[in-house]
Chains A and B, each alone.
Chain A
Amino acid sequence: MKQTKAKPSSGRTLKHSGFLTAIFAIISLTWISPLLIVLLNSFKRKAYIFKNPFGISTASIFDGFEKWMAGISKTFVGFLNYSNAIKKTDFWHSFGYSLFITVGSVLLIVICCSMCAWFITRVQTWWTKLIYVFCLFSMVVPFQMVMFTLSKFANMLHLSNPVGILVVYLGFGAGLAVFMFCGFVKSIPVEIEEAAMIDGCNPLQAYFLVVFPIMKPTVITVAILDAMWVWNDYLLPSLVLNVNKYRTIPIAVQYLKQSHGQIDWGAMMAVLVLAILPIIIFYIAAQKYIIKGVAAGAVKG
């Protein structure tokens, strides 16, 4: 009996090449530079953001080190922009709404869509096939085509609040999620579910104790995709939500621009950083789970 750990071979490793490293470093920096500029400027005094967005000091380094250092301390204001931004945008309220809507709609999408996908994959009738086709179709239709009728409709149904918008997000997220879950459910051997039924599960237990944990890789993939989408979404909440009462972070950023004659770029940069931060942390935390063959080992492999 082999006791060795089954370990996927990492394949061949590329030889270290200085040239490639340099190229990729440049590409990476280019890629990340907008974020870095926002981050940099979020700590700068308002006046200097426009004057010299890339600079870190009012003085040139050729004017002497002392002057240069003094320039730096003049340029940066520490967390002043952040406290301003939080005050001006009522940030914590917005953060609360954003968090609630993101978490709520992701949970709703993941649970409802995985259940739906499980059902329409296991029960093959003409109407389950029809549901599947509808889900595929909804991915084809662009949001901009339906957005006005949607906002009207959402108003009629009193969905223009943070709870109601979850339903709207569920509707728009369902297409891709059901499609992805269906693909995965097909790969789960039906015997596992039958074993669960015989072992004493009712259908709900079979779903939550057996099927759902097996679907974990897809659940995480769908959750990441949808969380990023919902958190960053501006258009849909601006159309559906009553923006005077409920402002998600993207809307709050927008209002920061409109509510004052002059735009407070410092606060703008700060709130942008605050808006991006949670989703980046979420992504880094969850990315290692994306598509792991959990089902491997259930059947002969």
Chain B
Amino acid sequence: MATVTLKHIEKVYPNTGDKKKKHNLKVTDEGVVAVQDFNLDIADQEFIVLVGPSGCGKSTTLRMVAGLEDITRGELYIDGQLVNDVAPKDRDISMVFQNYALYPHMTVRQNMEFPLKLRKLPKEEIDKRVNHAAEILGITEYLNRKPKALSGGQRQRVAIGRAIVREPKVLLMDEPLSNLDAKLRNQMRAEILKLRKKINTTFIYVTHDQTEAMTLGDRIVIMKDGVIQQVGAPQEVYDNPVNIFVAGFIGVPQMNFYDGELKKDGSKYCVQVEDALIPLDESKNQHLLAQDIKPQEIVVGVRPEHISLENVPGRMIHGVADVSELMGASVHLHINAVGKDGIIIVPTLDLKQDAGFQPGQKIDFTFGGNVVHVFSKETGRNLEY
């Protein structure tokens, strides 16, 4: 139950003498900058998800909040209190690790009691809290087992239990579901959502899985190469990605990108991809007008679910079908157009009974002016913002 404020947080790892550069991180004289100028205000009881590809600094940021890594520069406040130099145990946070990190020599009950015993709580209080947490997580019957006698999902529940018995100010989770199989992961994701309703605390959750980010977070922080790309609610990030990276990272299957051109006719903008000319809708038009965007070479981004096969003369882009994947409710049609591979999602309802797609078949498709994203070819920035 606390706010967390990160002000200009930076993490620099001193150069280890290894000159081979395997990453795109900024390198200064000081060393490799893993996290750059990280600014974020996290409200009380908010669920923040840090998401990004591996090596983007999301775990490092979390570990700095936990106190497991030193903060090179910047200020970290928990509940309004500067905690840069406060030891992890005194920050009143708890953490769930990817590999559970349970104490193997203790039973489940002892694991969950451990943080409370260290804080010298009275025995009745410890029992009450442990039993309550076990009940929430449905692990009451395993309390006397050792961790090695539990399955992956059960172990992760115990790890979460150990984290919540403390009733910490902030609950940190470092890819807690990555070690679980796909089915269990979905199940546990739903459980975390439920858990969130039952306990009032601030969550910071790290994942590389955009589905987890979208479904769990109140706000998502998308990071790349140690730099925050965008912070926003899931819907906002999905609808208005600030750059090509965010657009490509959020959403499954990935957004399609085609090279195109932004044209301006009076006060009307339209995008041209090959010979298809698609006018932008009013709100997008206004955004571009407001910034006085010049006609230029652009990257056009369209989500697979926004592409339609309906024939609109003059707006069709020509492609060749590659393979199609039947997902049940829809078909993911891989298509090569404008020299790029892309995916179109065709709802099964729209398909005729036997209208299978053949590899090599010519497919014409289009999209509306309301769903297209216009990115600068030079900077990758979304021109609307």
Contact = CB atoms under 8 A, between A and B. Distances in A.
Interface of A: 1-2, 5-6, 189, 191-192, 194-202, 205, 209-210, 213-214, 216, 294-301
A13 B75 CA distance: 64
A213 B146 CA distance: 14
Contact of B152 (A6, A209, A300): A300
Nearest to B96: A195
B103 interface: yes
Contact of B103 (A2, A5, A192, A198): A192
Nearest to B174: A191
B31 to A, nearest CB: 16
A275 B118 CA distance: 44
Contact of B118 (A2, A205, A214, A295): A205
Interface string B154-173: 11000000100010000000
B356 interface: no
Contact of B151 (A1, A194, A294): A1
Contacts of A209: 114
Contacts of B105: 213-214, 216, 294
Contacts of A295: 104
A294 B99 CA distance: 16
Interface in B28-59: none
Nearest to A206: B89
Contacts of A197: 67-68, 87-89
Contacts of A198: 66-68, 88-89, 93-95
B148 interface: yes
A295 B146 CA distance: 11
B89 A297 contact: no
B95 A195 contact: yes
Nearest to B114: A199
B97 A191 contact: yes
B232 interface: no
A299 B68 contact: no
B147 A297 contact: yes
Contacts of A213: 103, 105
B206 to A, nearest CB: 13
Interface of B: 66-68, 87-89, 93-95, 97-105, 114-115, 118-119, 146-152, 154-155, 162, 166, 179
29 contacts: A1-B151, A6-B149, A189-B101, A191-B99, A192-B103, A194-B68, A194-B97, A194-B101, A195-B101, A195-B102, A195-B103, A195-B162, A196-B114, A198-B89, A198-B95, A199-B94, A199-B115, A205-B118, A214-B103, A214-B104, A214-B105, A297-B147, A297-B148, A298-B99, A298-B103, A298-B104, A298-B147, A300-B100, A300-B179
Can you list the 9 inter-chain pairs with the closest CB atoms, starting with the nearest?
A297-B148, A200-B118, A191-B101, A199-B115, A298-B104, A195-B101, A213-B105, A200-B89, A191-B97
Contact of A296 (B67, B119, B148, B152): B148
A298 B119 contact: no
Contacts of B151: 1-2
Contacts of B149: 5-6, 297
Contacts of A214: 103-105
A200 B119 contact: yes
A296 to B, nearest CB: 5
B118 A6 contact: no
A85 to B, nearest CB: 43
A209 B115 CA distance: 12
A214 B88 CA distance: 22
A258 B119 CA distance: 62
A299 B100 contact: yes
Contact of B104 (A6, A202, A297, A300): A297
A201 B118 CA distance: 7
Contacts of B114: 196, 199, 209
B93 to A, nearest CB: 7
Contacts of B95: 194-195, 198
| Most central of A1, A299, A301 by chain B CB within 10 Å | A299
A289 to B, nearest CB: 13
Contacts of A199: 89, 94, 114-115, 118, 162, 166
| Most central of B99, B105, B119 by chain A CB within 10 Å | B105
Given A197-B68, A200-B89, A189 B94 contact: no
Contact of B115 (A6, A200, A202, A294): A200
